[in-house]
Chains A and B, each alone.
Chain A
Amino acid sequence: MAELGRFALLLCLFLSGYAILADLLGSWRKDNGLLDSGRNATVACLGCLTIAMAVLFIVLVRGDFSIKYVVSHTSKALPLAYKLSALWAGAAGSLLLWLWLQVGFVVVAFCRCRPQEKVFGGGARAVANLVSVYFLLVMVIDKNPFDVYVAASADGAGLNPLLQHPAMILHPPTLFLGYAAFVVPFAWAITTLGYRRSDVSVPLFRQANNWILRAWLFLTVGIVLGSWWAYEELGWGGYWAWDPVENSSLLPWLTATALLHSCRTYKAQSPTAGWVKVLSLLTFSLCIFGTFLTRYGLVSSVHAFDEAGLGLLFIILLVHIWIIALGFALYRRLRYGISKSASAWRGVRFIIYNNWLMIIITLVIFVGTLFPFLSGLFTDKKITLQPEYFTKITSPGGLLILLFIGVCPYLLRFGITLGRRTIGAVIVITAAVVAGFATGGYAVPCFIICGFALLNLVADVVGYEMKPAEGGNKRTFNRRGLRWYGSRLVHFGVLLMFVGIAGSGAYGTEEQRVLQPGGTVAIGRFKIVYNDLTADHGPNFTAAKAHISVYENPGPEATINDNKPNVPANAGKLIDKLTPSRAVYTARGTAVSEVDIRRTLGQDLYLALTDLDSRSKMINLRILVKPLINWIWIGGAVMILGVMLVLISRYKPKVITGD
């Protein structure tokens, strides 16, 4: 089986090399035969990669322990779902998955062109196949998922127990879906740079535009899932640690957000045309760079995979891409001169301001992420930045984003005028700044601006609904309405998310206590009583379960009574019983704490059993009160729903009926 997989990869490498030549020559000479041949080769690449994926899947499920990748990531006892997720648990498998998705998207986007778009499609395919070649080189030479041992092993090493969680099955592939989908706008952008200037409308823009939205959707889902997993599973109570791996998924998300907004006003010679191209390039480059950064240990990370190897090929790929792009741009500049921007819709400059804001935030996070590496270049010491750097630097940036969400809906329509709304905005900004200095934090300004933005969103919706429809007809819920509401919903989701981030970040409290049975802790408006420790057995683990009663704290007179046996008389009303536990996986001896959370929309009470002594039944308990944190996930869900509405609105049925 492994031979088949290796052969498929080699054949794919050959085919994508051929496709580049055929497509380049075909678009140069406008030769239909060559272009068709390039297209067929690209489709054949997808076929080869599908075979390779199938082979890897089969050997993982069947447990072929002569293959290194299978041995490192699975074991006989692993449940089927986790054997499947082992497909993307390692560098080699995840590269294969990424490439497979990428070529699949390229086939969908660029292999079914209309006749007048054929030449353009060929160019885009050539660019995409160039990326494929690099990926395949890395896989064939360095990270081959089909490498075999001389002598087969009896059993595999298994999957890290922390990764054995449903969110972890979904989180990596959704991120890869996002990364891979950005190849479409990327290939489109480079081809556009090399395209004849005289055409007003650039072909295939609708394709690129749709794929940007899809990629953004996947990336958002992936990031939200990842942070939710960290909160539920890691027992540390946070959801985002500003780790290089997390940052490397956030960076392309930020540039992609700018890209989405630039696409809204795109026309071939509009002021945002350049932005769309640059941001497409930047986003895809950041996707690749993130992979390089984390997979090859340039910066040590909590997630570090630290596998030295041919990571340099990714850097060469990036340099190659940017040289091509700059070359094309320079050629255009020399050949056609600087083009006058077509008279644009006046709101366009706010989109450009937004782009700059996103770029600056991206840059600041990028520098922070690479800081240990950069400082190592200039001094003989490595300097790392603590997560506080990122929170300090992104908080004002986040507030600016919020402000943009608040003011842009009407700035785009009316511009800056001396009206009620402008005065309102100035008052709100002043209030936010004053509140920020008075409280010494960002949370209150965040709430103020969120409220302002919400008000504006509501006003916008009301204005939209009140506006009479064209021709005096009764307004119907049409496609345009769907798109309009979808995008407003996304922004509403962002607001909810910011409320959650600010609330849980600024008003959370945290306690770490040693408790005997009967001990109590007062935290926030809760009183927590530790009752008992019991043993629990699962199929492959033994667990200790702490039984904890949660009372509503009656008032400030309730004193903190540590380790005082018996429940105090004024304990208040029993509102919940929580059972955080700690499971020891017998096979490996690693302990995993299972948190228990009392969830309400107002606040979460988060209990994690961090350590225990089974003889004396004493426990170490980590208690967190996280106000408003659930609004982060709710906001994420609202955002995802909104993007889906926009995507549905863009769906065009092939056959137009009725009209």
Chain B
Amino acid sequence: MQNFKNESGSVRTKTIVKTLIGVVVIGGGIGYFMYQAMRSSWSYYYSVDEFSARSSEVGNASVRIAGRVKEGTVARQFQQMRLSFILAGSKSTVPVSYKGVVPDNFAEGIEVVVEGRLDKAGLFQADRLMTRCESKYKAKVK
């Protein structure tokens, strides 16, 4: 009886050790993959106000900024396929110059997220522009 117990105990430890090794190896592999994938694709996400407050700290790292397209500031440079506008938060603003395709529902006064870097002249050079696809259409206030 005693013998039997010991034997089953050692079998059990073996299984536990095996399982642990398996978990560590597989988990480590997945963790490594995730880390690699994350490292090359993460970017900080700020609101306009946060971004302005921390612009020295951010430097020219690639970031995302969320804000509102200020009315009357949208200008399209057709030949260069550029779009410039001022992104407004509640306190501060950031001038943005975007090169690329403008989403269909882009308009003045809507919430957008831009991704890019701040250049030396203080202009935010965006290479991605995302609008929110709202399920609810809000009528324009006239």
Contact = CB atoms under 8 A, between A and B. Distances in A.
Interface of A: 72-73, 89-91, 157-163, 234-236, 300-305, 360, 364, 367-368, 371-372, 381-389, 392-393, 396, 512, 514, 588-593, 608, 610-611, 613, 618, 620, 622
A382 B46 contact: yes
B66 interface: yes
A235 B41 contact: no
B78 A389 contact: no
B42 A389 contact: yes
A384 B64 contact: yes
A383 B102 contact: no
Contacts of B140: 588
Contacts of A304: 132, 134
A360 B79 CA distance: 47
Interface string B72-100: 00001011010000000000000000001
Interface in B19-48: 26, 30, 33-34, 36-38, 40-46
Interface of B: 26, 30, 33-34, 36-38, 40-46, 64, 66, 76, 78-79, 81, 100-105, 107, 113, 115, 130-140
A388 B136 CA distance: 29
Nearest to A356: B26
Contact of A385 (B38, B46, B113): B38
A159 B41 CA distance: 35
Contacts of B135: 89-91, 160, 163, 303, 305
Contacts of A620: 78, 81
A512 B100 CA distance: 8
Nearest to A394: B37
A348 to B, nearest CB: 18
A383 B101 contact: no
A236 B130 CA distance: 12
Nearest to B36: A392
Given A234-B104, A364-B34, A385 B78 contact: no
Nearest to A396: B33
A303 B133 contact: yes
B139 A305 contact: no
Contacts of B26: 360
Given A364-B34, A382-B45, A386-B42, A157 B138 contact: yes
Given A300-B66, A588-B140, A236 B37 contact: no
Given A305-B135, A393-B37, A622-B101, 5 more contacts: A72-B136, A91-B135, A160-B135, A300-B45, A392-B33
A383 B42 contact: yes
Nearest to B113: A300
A618 B78 contact: yes
B43 A236 contact: no
Q: Which 6 pairs between the two chains have the least Cβ-Cβ distance?
A: A392-B37, A382-B45, A386-B41, A389-B41, A160-B137, A388-B41
A388 B37 contact: yes
A384 B65 CA distance: 11
B43 A386 contact: yes
Contacts of A384: 42-45, 64
A367 B30 CA distance: 12
A610 B78 CA distance: 11
B133 A512 contact: no
A613 B104 contact: no
A329 B30 CA distance: 29
B45 A235 contact: no
Contacts of B66: 300
Contacts of B104: 162, 234-235, 590-593
A16 to B, nearest CB: 27
A393 B34 contact: yes
A230 to B, nearest CB: 10
A301 B45 CA distance: 12
B136 A89 contact: yes
A593 B103 CA distance: 9
Contacts of B45: 300, 372, 381-384
